[in-house]
Structure 1
Amino acid sequence: MRDFPPRIGGVLCVPDWLLPLLVPVVAALAGGFLVLAFRPRGGGEGVALLADRMEALSDRLDQAVAQQNERLARSLADSADRTQESARRIHERLAVIDAARANIEALGGQVTTLAGILGNKQARGAFGEVQLRDMLADRLPAEGWAWQHPLSNGTRCDALIRLPFPPGPIAIDSKFPLEAWQALRAAPDDAARVQATRRLSADIRRHVDDVATKYIRPGETAEGALIFLPSEALHADLHALHGGLVQEAARRGVYLVSPGTLWAVLGAMRALMRDVRLRAEAQHLRLEVARLAEETGRLDRRVANLKRHFGEAQADMDQIGITAQKILGAAARIEAVEIDTPAPARAAE
């Protein structure tokens, strides 16, 4: 059995909570020993001295108990504060852990949803169309592209970028088959890998032939079309494992683009559209300047006519002024002439 109280290095260790209980017991024992030691044998002085000593001892014991209680209270208060601080930190960490767990659960749901989209052919096609449409709406002006645009042969391309001739409008397809590529990545052995590679090559040729036949229309579209791949990994694998097929598709005017490369292509097309718009605006400004020059010439001719009219009017005003001076001079001369007025005739007598 273990010793109680415990010992450390041969020294007896008394817990803090046991010390206040031992103090009264020790005080009582000390008082009993003192009573036995100073028990009077017949004199009253010994009893009085014993009473004084007992009172002084009781006071010291009360002070020691009060101090011990005060230290114990402070210790308990400090322990309670430390416990509350630890509990607060634990609650904060638990809140962080709960938030991280919620984020992980949400991410797991999103991954599951994405896996379901990629596993369903129709949903995967819709996912590629949504991604393509978002990129077109973000990079090109609204009048620079059309969605599900019908061509003259009766087919509808997923998107048509309206570029001027040359090069002309460019059609984009977003329904690339991914089953063979997924089978290639999940192939368990070499035989399954070779079979999946052949299937992928056949799917690429078939899809490139469809796009080249349906989406490249001389005089209506450009001499090339784009196939949008919604995965950077697929784009990298096709260029790394089937570079010959990619080059063959490019010779037929069909180009495979990933989200990253399509972003750069759309940036170049946006710059081309801006250049075309600036040229059109410059031509419009040139026409307006020509009209303004014509109006300026007409204004100059009218100002010259007006100046001529003003000159003629000024000459007429000068002539009128000369005539007025002559009239005034004649009036002055007439007024200066003395004319004898005849006397009035007398009435007949």
Structure 2
Amino acid sequence: MSLPEIFGLISIILLVFVSTLALIILFRKPSDGVQSDFRSVTEPIGKQVDELKDNLTKTMYESMMDFNDKINKQMVDSTDKSAQNITEFRLNVNNELTKFQEKINAKLSSDFKSLTDEINQKMGAINEKVEDRLSKGFRDTNETFLQIAKRVEVIDEAQKKIESLSTEMVSLQNILANNQARGSFGEYQLNQLLYSVFGDNNRLYQTQYTIREGKGKREAVRADAVVFMPRPIQMIAIDSKFPFSSYSKLFDNKELTKEEEEKLIQSFGQEVKKHITDIAHKYIVTGKTAEYALMFVASDGILALLHSKCPSIIEYAREKAVTIVSPTTLIPLLSSFRTITIDVERSKYAQKINEQLQLLSKDFRLFSNEWGKLNSNIDSLKKSGDKVNYRVQQITTKFDSIEQVELTDSEPKTPVLEIETEEDSLDVDQD
């Protein structure tokens, strides 16, 4: 509440009080003297009230003026302070902005530096990767060129081999064109097959072997190869034949008629049949060789042609106890011969092997007994070692207790050594 409002309230209260007092006096019907006294009393009071009112008005006016002056002064002061505060605020804001700008600049500088470092680091890593990939690419390219160079060398070698093979084909054609050369080629191939199966073993086979009969019999004959077998088979003669001239005519001329082809096949069969007859007569010798012989042809195609086009020749060979073989069919046949020979030789020594096994069994039983004794001695030695180890531990423990004993002035403590009895030792051994 303001000061003028307070003074106005006091004036109202005084007026109410005076009015109330006057009414009381009037209603009591006072006498003339009393009224005279009342007037004498009220008049000064009215004057005082008027004076008080004037004073209050004056005071209120002065108070209002003072209040107004104070307000104006406070407003001026507030304005000055506001201007000062605004100035200080502006200065503070400028300072804060300066500091903020400095922090922003520092942060930006730091971030730019970090970003620059990171970019430099990543660029360095990228450069390293690029260099590695370039180096790897150069290495791969170099290796590729080296491989290409090697492949070119291989191609050159293959070209040389092709040229050599072409030369060999020409040589082979020259060989096949000559009967004697064809015979030598067949014998060479037969020898290579025998060596691949038997190795260099003269006890299993021989080449260019002479078969002799008893005195007064026919002259000796020489087989291209013989395979030695156990009795009663003894030896199997192998003769190499290469009927290539008749065979080649079937394929050199592609415009043959069916009749011409049949004639050539018949001529080819007759040539082979003559070879079968000669082999059966020369290389199947009773008491010297097996009851059958082998006719080796150096080409699988010839054997296939005989089976497909000349079955009667195959049947004739079976009747004459002559088996026609080619490089593909001869290898398993020779392998079976080798297996039979090994089994027979092994059976010869079966009894000796059995005797040696029995002797070995006796030696093993003796060894087993000795091993049992040795194992028992090892167990006994282990038990003795455990016993000695236990006693050493006991003595060590007692020495430790002697070293750790505490001596006092009042009562000396002397460690008592416990002597292990034989019963304790036995208990330990049982444990």
Taking structure 2 as the reference length, what is the TM-score of the superposition?
Answer: 0.44
| Structure 2 counterpart of 1:148, from 175, 183, 208 | 208
| Structure 1 counterpart of 2:314, from 246, 262, 280 | 246
**Partner of residue 158, structure 1:** 224
Q: Which amino acid aligns with 1:161?
A: V
**Partner of residue 189, structure 1:** 256
* Deviation string, structure 1 residues 109-145 (Cα, Å, up to 9, x no partner): 2222222222221111111111111111221243111
Do structure 1's residue 167 and structure 2's residue 233 form an aligned pair? yes
How far, CA to CA, are the matches of 1:279 and 1:197 in structure 2? 48
| Structure 2 counterpart of 1:102, from 152, 157, 160 | 160
Secondary structure, in 3 states, of the residue corresponding to 1:122? helix
Q: 1:195 to 1:169 in 2, by over 3 A?
A: same
Q: How many residues align?
A: 208
How far, CA to CA, are the matches of 1:234 and 1:156 in structure 2? 24
**Partner of residue 307, structure 1:** none
Q: 1:121 to 1:283 in 2, by over 3 A?
A: farther
How far, CA to CA, are the matches of 1:117 and 1:232 in structure 2? 18
**Partner of residue 136, structure 1:** 194
Q: 1:184 to 1:91 in 2, by over 3 A?
A: closer
How far, CA to CA, are the matches of 1:167 and 1:155 in structure 2? 19
Which aligned runs of 4 or more in structure 1 are off by greater than 4 angstroms?
A: 88-91, 93-97, 283-290
**Contact 1:149-1:159 at 8 Å conserved across structures:** yes
| Structure 1 counterpart of 2:181, from 109, 120, 123 | 123
**Partner of residue 339, structure 1:** none
Secondary structure, in 3 states, of the residue corresponding to 1:128? helix
Q: Which amino acid aligns with 1:142?
A: N
How far, CA to CA, are the matches of 1:169 and 1:91 in structure 2? 56
Kindly, what percent of the aligned residue pairs are identical?
33
**Contact 1:158-1:173 at 8 Å conserved across structures:** yes
Secondary structure, in 3 states, of the residue corresponding to 1:174? strand
Larger Rg: 2
How far, CA to CA, are the matches of 1:283 and 1:147 in structure 2? 34
**Partner of residue 73, structure 2:** none
How far, CA to CA, are the matches of 2:158 and 2:273 in structure 1? 46
* Alpha-carbon shift at residue 283 of structure 1 (Å): 4.3
* Deviation string, structure 1 residues 62-116 (Cα, Å, up to 9, x no partner): xxxxxxxxxxxxxxxxxxx9xx98xx68983765553443232122122222222
Secondary structure, in 3 states, of the residue corresponding to 1:170? strand
* Alpha-carbon shift at residue 219 of structure 1 (Å): 1.1
What is the 5 A alignment of 1:60-99? Answer: 92=149, 95=153, 97-99=155-157
* Alpha-carbon shift at residue 252 of structure 1 (Å): 1.4
Secondary structure, in 3 states, of the residue corresponding to 1:222? coil
| Structure 2 counterpart of 1:279, from 327, 335, 347 | 347
**Contact 2:225-2:238 at 8 Å conserved across structures:** yes
* Alpha-carbon shift at residue 287 of structure 1 (Å): 7.8
* Deviation string, structure 1 residues 173-195 (Cα, Å, up to 9, x no partner): 00232211112222431243222
Q: 1:90 to 1:123 in 2, by over 3 A?
A: same
Q: Which amino acid aligns with 1:165?
A: R
**Partner of residue 257, structure 1:** 325
Secondary structure, in 3 states, of the residue corresponding to 1:143? coil
Q: 1:104 to 1:137 in 2, by over 3 A?
A: closer
* Alpha-carbon shift at residue 268 of structure 1 (Å): 0.3
* Deviation string, structure 1 residues 182-211 (Cα, Å, up to 9, x no partner): 122224312432221121121121111101
What is the 5 A alignment of 1:311-326? Answer: none
Q: Which amino acid aligns with 1:232?
A: D
Which structure shows the higher helix fraction?
2
| Structure 2 counterpart of 1:233, from 301, 308, 322 | 301
* Alpha-carbon shift at residue 156 of structure 1 (Å): 0.8
| Structure 2 counterpart of 1:208, from 255, 268, 276 | 276
Residue ranges of structure 2 left out of the alignment (5+ in a row): 1-137, 360-431
How far, CA to CA, are the matches of 1:249 and 1:97 in structure 2? 48
Q: Which amino acid aligns with 1:170?
A: I
**Contact 2:224-2:240 at 8 Å conserved across structures:** yes
**Partner of residue 245, structure 2:** 179
* Alpha-carbon shift at residue 248 of structure 1 (Å): 1.7
**Contact 2:182-2:242 at 8 Å conserved across structures:** no
How far, CA to CA, are the matches of 1:90 and 1:260 in structure 2? 38
How far, CA to CA, are the matches of 2:345 and 2:158 in structure 1? 50
How far, CA to CA, are the matches of 1:269 and 1:96 in structure 2? 42
Secondary structure, in 3 states, of the residue corresponding to 1:221? coil
Residue ranges of structure 1 left out of the alignment (5+ in a row): 1-80, 293-349
How far, CA to CA, are the matches of 2:148 and 2:334 in structure 1? 51
How far, CA to CA, are the matches of 1:111 and 1:173 in structure 2? 25
How far, CA to CA, are the matches of 2:147 and 2:209 in structure 1? 60
**Partner of residue 34, structure 1:** none
* Alpha-carbon shift at residue 284 of structure 1 (Å): 4.6
Q: Which amino acid aligns with 2:238?
A: I
* Alpha-carbon shift at residue 260 of structure 1 (Å): 1.0
Q: 1:283 to 1:255 in 2, by over 3 A?
A: same
